[in-house]
Structure 1
Amino acid sequence: MTAIGQDTLSTRRTLTVDGKSYDYYSLEAAGAHFGDVSRLPFSMKVLFENLLRFEDGFTVKVADVGAIAGWAKTRKSDHEIQYRPARVLMQDFTGVPCVVDLAAMRDAMTKLGGDPQKINPLVPVDLVIDHSVMVDEFGTPKAFEQNVELEYARNIERYEFLRWGSSALRNFRVVPPGTGICHQVNLEYLAQTVWVSQAEDGKMIAYPDTLVGTDSHTTMVNGLGVLGWGVGGIEAEAAMLGQPVSMLIPEVVGFKLFGTLPEGVTATDLVLTVTQMLRKKGVVGRFVEFYGPGLDALSLADRATIANMAPEYGATCGFFPVDDATIAYLRLTGREDHRIALVEAYARAQGMWRDASTPDPVFTDTLELDLGAVMPSLAGPRRPQDRVLLDQADEAFEAELLGGYGKAAAPNERVAVANAPHDLGHGDVVIAAITSCTNTSNPNVLVAAGLVARKANTLGLKPKPWVKTSFAPGSQVVTDYFDKAGLTADMDAIGFNLVGYGCTTCIGNSGPLPEPISEAINANDLVAVSVLSGNRNFEGRVSPDVKANYLASPPLVVAYALAGTIRSDITETPLGQGTDGRDVFLRDVWPTNAEVAAMVQSAVTPSMFRARYADVFKGDNHWQAIRLTGGDTYKWNPSSTYVQNPPYFEGMTMTPAPVSDIVNARALASLGDSITTDHISPAGSIKADSPGGKYLLDRQVPRAEFNSYGARRGNHEVMMRGTFANIRIRNRLAPGTEGGVTTYLPTGEVMPIYDAAMLYKASGTPLVILAGKEYGTGSSRDWAAKGTNLLGVRAVIAESFERIHRSNLIGMGVLALQFVDGQSAESLGLKGDESFTLANLQALKPRQSLTVAFTRPDGTTGSFETLCRIDTENEVDYFYAGGILPYVLRKLAS
């Protein structure tokens, strides 16, 4: 049953589709109260309908609805609204800690004398297990089967826990391992574009499909006309438990597309171009909406590719309206005929349908792109927005090699590889991975990769022997259409065997390189390269052995595997020699657009989607054999190194303790620009000599079974020790070092950040973090905020924050403070060895000014102003409650 508002505006109307009636909240009827809203951006119309439906005079007032209607005049607003998404999507890396928190809340609810059954999702929640498969085995027909066996062996404790959650929690479904990537499963099956549920009066209500997700790439479904974006796990838990998402009405940047893509240019090239343009524009915290005649030239899969990378271009979402392409995709993916008819009828009735005659919406700001100007590209070696043209990639790497990587002394050095007939040098591609939701949801770029493989195989080309190749589709349907097209055999023949259905390399689950390759790289400090069809290439993310990482389209991943290096112009230099001894060039293996389109048209069918998703929650024999333990509350295993009861609710009472001032805090780290959530809370491998590795070794976990930080997010002890433990993070408090270390200021000793934090905690010393611009970019990783909190950090002072991480910090009771007037730690002369004091924290207001006083080691003093990035009244409440979870728990218990 859906709780809806009072409809004091009398906008509820009835829509009949194929003889079935649905009530809906009419935007046209609302126009009688607020004026014409027809030219609102389509994404804003979804927000408008949401407020209209939930208007109750309390959480959503008529003035809130009116504020969105009035947006069309000002095109910006500082009005706070309460938004309620229809559902929540999770993947297992972020989902396991969410379910751990729910289990802990059930325990805490019992201790507070409440009913643990109150801790239940109130909206539908789907968790897709897609982030745990690792590329251990590759290049063999048995790679998939062997990787699945290893996945279950490593993660059985986590999977037992999730099986408990799927049975104990209402409104909670789990898509088992080996099915696909959550965003592709969402796009192909879970998303409905128009959602339907029963209201308290028994009538069926139709409304836009909306969601929040615990993975930043939740935005991919924006391509299907579904408004959704990534949030931290703690925000998602609050949404599950009935709390609205508190937000300021966003600005909306319109991105006009016109023309068509040239021959040989892919959707990946387009999205890398869009990402670069929007990062330059500056769209953090804003909606981006695509419009213009160029939309007619983009398939739904192309749109989803662009929408997917909204976190990379910094936007909250990258929205595409509903039109004929939406309907065609719903039909292609086997959705029910009635649902498809409802989507079109509802969109037309609500003014949410786009066609060639639709007037352009009004936007806060705009920019445009001629699709015909897009050129083949890569992005790297460190950030998704660092686009380089394909024919200049070798030159760009050369500049990085000599400059950023400091290899000017011996750039052409090549070293022997033990027991191998080949050597290895800077710029050699050691990982070539077709992976990630961004591109594996797009049949065109995958079929293009398959055709490159086919032509290369026919000519007798093979990947270079130092390249680790892998193919990890985001859906089992990909295997079906590859089989039907005969491409599977070609991919296998050149080493791109199926390794799993999951995120793999893009999340850091690339698995170990062959030992001789790894030893050669590390013994000689080689700048090795990965090329992946992913969305993230941050330092230290893909592999601890690989410094330079490039995003590329799937067919280019295959091409670079054949070339084996990034230090030659792949557009002009031979990829290799064929069996006839002749040089083979990229142009010889690259398919035409017509070839790709014809194969997609013949090979991809609705029956494939219907068959694969007919019983999607059942799982394979491994999943069905997992035992269930526990009842309403989880039976914690104290010896588990994967799942432990977190300390967030220890000693909690119904009345929160008052917030104290921050007095004489010390800096735990002083960091530069673009510190990502991967830097703060890495997802990849755990080093044996790190605090996390030592913790596991102390509990008799052998190094071979360490798994990854991402897989161990259900254990706060590991994750605390892994906070700021990225192998590439550089802390100015420990100059000349790399990795998670700091100087413990009282003694001057350099030590792991975790160890220093525990010494500070033992002495009762509060901590702060100093940082530069774009702090917290990247994944919606709640552990980046949870770990910060558990280390004893009271405030992060940065030049600017990425949207999700700022919200997560507040949600964990950590102050987010922003330098003002262009100031920075450097401009203020802060070295990080000062002590810091923040007073008057007992009556904070959103976005107020806060003074930070500091004392230098020599006793001199100073101060500077900061902007408190508690942005909304709700966030003030969360902060004073000690975080969003204690706030929600007290509310439910009372």
Structure 2
Amino acid sequence: PPAPAADAKGNMPSAAAGADGRPSNPTPVHYNGQDMELDHGMVAIASITSCTNTSNPSVMVGAGLLARNAAAKGLKPAPWVKTSMAPGSQVVTGYYEAAGLWKDLEAMGFYLVGYGCTTCIGNSGPLPAEISAGINEGDLAATAVLSGNRNFEGRINPDVKMNYLASPILVIAYAIAGTMDFDFETQPLGTDNEGNDVFLRDIWPSTEEIEDVIASSITKELYSADYADVFKGDERWQNLDVPTGETFAWDEDSTYIRRAPYFDGMSREPEAVSDVSGARVLALLGDSVTTDHISPASTIKPGSPAAQYLDSHGVERKDYNSLGARRGNHEVMVRGTFANIRLQNQLLDGVSGGYTRDFTQEGGPQAYIYDAAMNYKEVGTPLVVLGGKEYGTGSSRDWAAKGTLLLGVKAVIAESFERIHRSNLIGMGVVPLQFPEGESWKSLGLDGTETFDISGIEELNNGSTPKTVHVTAKKEGGETIEFDAVTRIDTPGEADYYRHGGILQYVLRNMMAQQ
């Protein structure tokens, strides 16, 4: 019979169990006083998380009962798996306590880490240093299994390449298995105290068991008591020092909240919009680039521009927190824009992550997107992004547009746009343009090394929106490629936002006019 996942080589836990017929790169690691082997498909993170599944008592109680049954059989999670429990509601804690399930969940490593958005939005926290080093040393395709509702590439953790969505019950099962390369029908999860194989079917709770626990542990009073003072917060929240006054008291030393520059130098009346001249390509992208490829999310990778910023402000690595937690600091967030580890900027060959070519330097060497953007800003060079079909697909992600603006991007030229992101770009003062029907940057012969001029935008100053604008791309040898791009400012309201430099300035000027 196939070996249990966590026992491929004698008694040393190994994620390389049953690796015959698939890519395998067993990587030895010593962690927490134990030798083990990591491999492709290893489950690095198993998390019961998000509002979506944790508001369903059936699956949450089912997970607790599976944990109880597993603990009774002597099963343990694989030692390389980072586990966590983050219910969307405090009511879950109430019925877990009433049913006595917490001790069983904790025996499987599922301790309460908080309530609300965690692993699903990239707030998993870093992996243990030894595990992270092993994954990177072996270039392993590590996985995460979570009961959340989003599994976009690179979102969950920078060390994790593949993310799988599962019910809370299966999250615990995969934590024990330790690998996605596992057949629950034929492979035992381990052995019990008598040495008998234990399969998933042996510990799976019955519907009747789940219903009995729900009937005895969940009451209307649990919900009414927890939600009676939902905004009260705990003692730490209540004891926060809150400044008074009509305007916010910015702390210049804060690495969490800083005054964003959107209104810096803003005049009472909007200045004329202008054409784009001498722009360089910051990113040359393919089809279906999502807002999660663009927007800052997940943990902050050591050595990255965001990490360098925090280092320079005396923040230790253990206190980096996540990009989501630091969304109130534009200095961190702009450094995390276009920094997704799965982004494929085709200005570079076969390089994944937030990199580009910096043409302010001799030969256009590889550089972090943020560093290159700041070099372009220093010499007064505007930027454009070239994309394919469905640019900006996915959730709306306000920072996907904010970060694009703050990097110095004036226009995004793509084959097609997702509706909300297109609108958000305009809302931040970035013009969305579309290649002529049936054309793409590839078909037009563009490779991202060109210098771009965009004329016709200034027609907006006359009160009308041009249907197309003229784009001239000049190659290094002097050859030019010209085309008319469709202006995707689709409504008069959007044209007003763009004329004002964005929706924030538009709203503020309207408020000032009404004073």
Shift of 1:772: 2.1
Partner of 1:856: 475
Q: Distance in 1 between matches of 2:303 and 2:480?
A: 39
Aligned to 1:607: 221
Alpha-carbon distance in 2 for matches of 1:466, 1:701: 27
Counterpart mapping for 1:410-449 below 5 A: 411-418=24-31, 419-449=33-63
- Contact preservation (8 Å) 2:282, 2:385: yes
Structure having the larger proportion of residues in helix: 1
Whether the aligned pair in 2 keeps the contact of 1:847 and 1:869 (CA below 8 Å) is: no
Unmatched runs of 5 consecutive residues or more in structure 2: 1-14
Q: For residue 489 of structure 2, give the secondary structure of its aligned residue in structure 1.
A: coil
| Partner in structure 2 of residue 117 of structure 1 | none
- Aligned with residue 733 of structure 1, among 341, 344, 347: 347
Deviation, 1:681, is: 2.6
Query: After the TM superposition, which residues 704-723 of structure 1 pair with which residues of structure 2 at under 5 Å, given as runs?
Result: 704-723=318-337
* Superposed CA offset, 1:843-872 (max 9, x none): 456793334222222222222343322232
| Matches of 1:798 and 1:594, distance apart in 2 | 54
Cross-structure match for 1:780: 396
For 2:34, what is the secondary structure of its paired residue? coil
State the distance in 1 between where 2:466 and 2:106 align.
56
TM-score, normalising length from structure 2?
Answer: 0.89
State the partner residue of 1:884: 503
2:457 paired with 1:808:
no
Given that 2:51 and 2:89 are in contact with CA atoms closer than 8 Å, whether structure 1 keeps it comes out as no
Contact 1:846 1:876 in 2 (8 A): yes
Query: Residue 761 of structure 1 aligns with which residue?
Result: 377
Deviation per CA, 1:618-659, whole angstroms, max 9, x where unpaired?
111101111111410112122222222111111212210111
Distance, in Å, in 2 between the alignment partners of 1:770 and 1:571 is 47
- Which of 168, 173, 194 aligns to 1:559? It is 173
Partner of 2:290: 676
Distance in 2 between the 1:700 and 1:744 partners?
28
The Cα offsets for residues 583-634 of structure 1, whole Å up to 9 and x where unpaired, read as 1222222233444344334433221111001111111110111111141011
Show CA shifts across 1:686-738 (max 9, x none).
Answer: 23422222222222223332222222222222222222222332211122323
Instruction: From 316, 335, 356, give the equivalent of 1:702.
Output: 316
User: Structure 1 residues 495 and 721 mapped into 2: Cα distance closer, same or farther (>3 Å)?
Assistant: closer
CA distance in 2, matches of 1:698, 1:681: 23
CA distance in 2, matches of 1:741, 1:398: 33
Shift of 1:793: 0.4
**Alignment CA distance shift 1:593-1:798 (3 Å):** farther
Q: Distance in 1 between matches of 2:186 and 2:291?
A: 38
The answer as to 2:412 corresponding to 1:796 is yes
CA distance in 2: counterparts of 1:460 and 1:702, whole angstroms: 38
| Residue of structure 1 in register with 2:8 after alignment | none
Query: For residue 254 of structure 2, what is the aligned residue in structure 1?
Result: 640
**Separation in 1 of the partners of 2:331 and 2:113?**
31
Kept in 1, the 8 Å contact 2:280–2:381? The answer is yes
In structure 2, the partner of 1:165 is none
Q: Do the aligned partners of residues 782 and 588 (structure 1) sit closer, same or farther apart at CA in structure 2, a change above 3 Å counting?
A: same
Q: Distance in 2 between the 1:574 and 1:810 partners?
A: 55
Aligned residues: 491
Query: 1:810 Cα shift?
Result: 0.9
* Distance in 2 of aligned mates of 1:766 and 1:470: 44
**Cα distance in 2 for residues equivalent to 1:797 and 1:592:** 55
Q: Which residue of 2 aligns with 1:460?
A: 74
Q: Does the Cα contact within 8 Å between 2:251 and 2:258 map onto a contact in 1?
A: yes
**Quick one: which of 449, 452, 471 aligns to 1:833?**
449
Q: Give, in whole Å, the separation in 2 of the partners of 1:688 and 1:568.
A: 32
Contact 2:27 2:138 in 1 (8 A): no
Check whether the contact 1:742–1:750 (CA below 8 A) recurs between aligned residues. Answer: yes
Q: Distance in 2 between matches of 1:587 and 1:735?
A: 47
Amino acid at match of 1:868: T
Deviations 1:54-100 (A, max 9, x none): xxxxxxxxxxxxxxxxxxxxxxxxxxxxxxxxxxxxxxxxxxxxxxx
State whether residues 541 and 682 of structure 1, in contact with CA within 8 Å, keep that contact through their aligned partners in structure 2: no
Q: Pick closer, same or farther for the CA change 1:398–1:804 going to 2, 3 Å.
A: farther
Q: Provide closer, same or farther for how the CA distance between residues 773 and 599 of structure 1 changes in structure 2, counting only shifts above 3 A.
A: farther
1:451 aligned residue: 65
For 1:570, give the aligned amino acid: F
- SS for the counterpart of 1:497 is coil
Given that 1:846 and 1:869 are in contact with CA atoms closer than 8 Å, whether structure 2 keeps it comes out as no
- CA distance in structure 1 between the partners assigned to 2:182 and 2:329 by the alignment: 45
**Structure 1 residues 179-198: aligned runs within 5 Å:** none
- The two structures, once aligned, show a CA RMSD in angstroms of 2.4
Matched with 1:512 is: 126
* TM-score, with length taken from structure 1: 0.53
Aligned-residue identity in percent: 58
1:686 is aligned to: 300
In structure 1, runs of 5+ residues without a counterpart are: 1-393, 403-407
- 1:533/1:552 contact within 8 Å kept: yes
Q: CA deviation at 1:820?
A: 4.1
For the residues of structure 2 that align with 1:585 and 1:456, how far apart are their CA atoms? 10
Label 1:544 to 1:824 Cα distance change in 2 as closer, same or farther (>3 A): same
In 2, the alpha carbon distance for the partners of 1:862 and 1:589 equals 65
Q: Partners in 2 of 1:800 and 1:603 — Cα distance?
A: 52
Shift of 1:839: 1.3
Contact 2:28–2:36 (8 Å) recurs in 1: no
Secondary structure of the residue aligned to 1:472 is strand
Q: Specify the alignment match of 2:12 in structure 1.
A: none
